[in-house]
Amino acid sequence: MIFFLSVLTLATTVTAIYTKRMTTIAGVEVIDTQIVRDAQALIRGFPNYLYSHQMRSWLFGAAMINANATLKKNIDLEVHAIATMLHDLGWDMTPGSRWVSPDKRFEVDGAIGARTWLSEHPIGKFWAPERVRKVFQAIALHGSGSIVNYFELEEAVIVQSISQDYNGPVNGVTHAVYDRIAKQFPQDELLSGTNKTFVWLAETKPSTTWDTWLQPWGDAFVPGYSAVGHRSFDHIAGTKAS
């Protein structure tokens, strides 16, 4: 059984790296394997602002990889596709969502969700541990570009892919390519949808937002929200009692 499993793990890795089945979406050449299609099917069930943000993150990233020979040679395209498309599972506002915990930051919910999804997937469950780890780390750190940029190439590139949706094209992605993606997957609800989600997170699980970059949404928009007493600043600078 162990032999069987390791052969399958090897086989899925080799398949991903050497048999590059590709297709074109919004003019961008992307990897087209069963697991990548299954990730698309999963996110298609989300509201449009969330589905389209995940799709654009993948496509902006794929365009960046396609424009750079080093990235094209070195990036594991399935790892990149799965991580970009599943990075915001923790944004699922559906009551009782299986992806959202009461007590963990949304980035961690996304990372755990993607890892669980892989472990339950008929192909994903045979993924080599380092591929799963890259997906997990990139998603867990996707709100912290100033840290993840210094991780391994895949993690950094995954987060650069996502941030293009907010910050525009980078690293060789032209405005023409960017605009074609944004035309097929419109960005009109990106900021309002993101804003609404962050308010919801600060409202429904405030302790996961205190002392994080989400805290300003609670401070600005959630009545009764206060991080005071819960910040490192309070413990270290001694303001806790005041």
Q: Does 16 bind ligand NAG (CB under 6 A)?
A: no
The answer to whether the beta carbons of residues 109 and 101 sit under 8 Å apart is yes
Q: Does 171 bind ligand NAG (CB under 6 A)?
A: yes
State in angstroms the smallest separation of the CB of 171 from ligand NAG. 5
- Rounded to an integer, what is the distance from CA 199 to the centroid of its chain? 19
121 vs 196, which CB is nearer to ligand NAG? 196
Count of residues engaged in binding ligand NAG, rule: CB under 6 A: 10
* Lookup: tokens for 17: 């790296």
Q: Does 195 bind ligand NAG (CB under 6 A)?
A: yes
Helix, strand, or coil (residue 151): coil
Q: Does 167 bind ligand NAG (CB under 6 A)?
A: no
Which residue in 120, 122, 150, 148 sits closest to 136, CA to CA? 148
The answer to whether the beta carbons of residues 193 and 50 sit under 8 Å apart is yes
Neighbouring C-beta atoms of residue 201, cutoff 10 Å: 24
39 vs 71, which CB is nearer to ligand NAG? 71
When binding is defined by CB under 6 A, the residue of 192, 204, 207, 239 that contacts ligand NAG is 192
State in angstroms the smallest separation of the CB of 19 from ligand NAG. 24
Q: Does 170 bind ligand NAG (CB under 6 A)?
A: no
Q: Does 151 bind ligand NAG (CB under 6 A)?
A: no
Neighbouring C-beta atoms of residue 91, cutoff 10 Å: 25
State in angstroms the smallest separation of the CB of 145 from ligand NAG. 13
Contacts of 181 (CB under 8 A, 6+ apart): 26, 27, 28, 56, 59, 60, 63
Q: Which stretch binds ligand NAG (CB under 6 A): 28-36, 192-200, 207-215, 227-235?
A: 192-200
State in angstroms the smallest separation of the CB of 60 from ligand NAG. 14
- Rounded to an integer, what is the distance from CA 138 to the centroid of its chain? 7
Contacts of 36 (CB under 8 A, 6+ apart): 30, 78, 81, 82, 85
When binding is defined by CB under 6 A, the residue of 7, 10, 17, 191 that contacts ligand NAG is 191
State in angstroms the smallest separation of the CB of 203 from ligand NAG. 10
Q: Does 199 bind ligand NAG (CB under 6 A)?
A: yes
* Rounded Cα gap, residues 65 and 171, in angstroms: 9
Q: Give residue for tokens 């599943």.
A: 86
- Residues 55 to 84: which contact ligand NAG by CB under 6 A? 68, 70-71
34 vs 195, which CB is nearer to ligand NAG? 195
The answer to whether the beta carbons of residues 182 and 166 sit under 8 Å apart is no
Residues that bind ligand NAG (CB under 6 A): 68, 70-71, 171-172, 191-192, 195, 199, 221
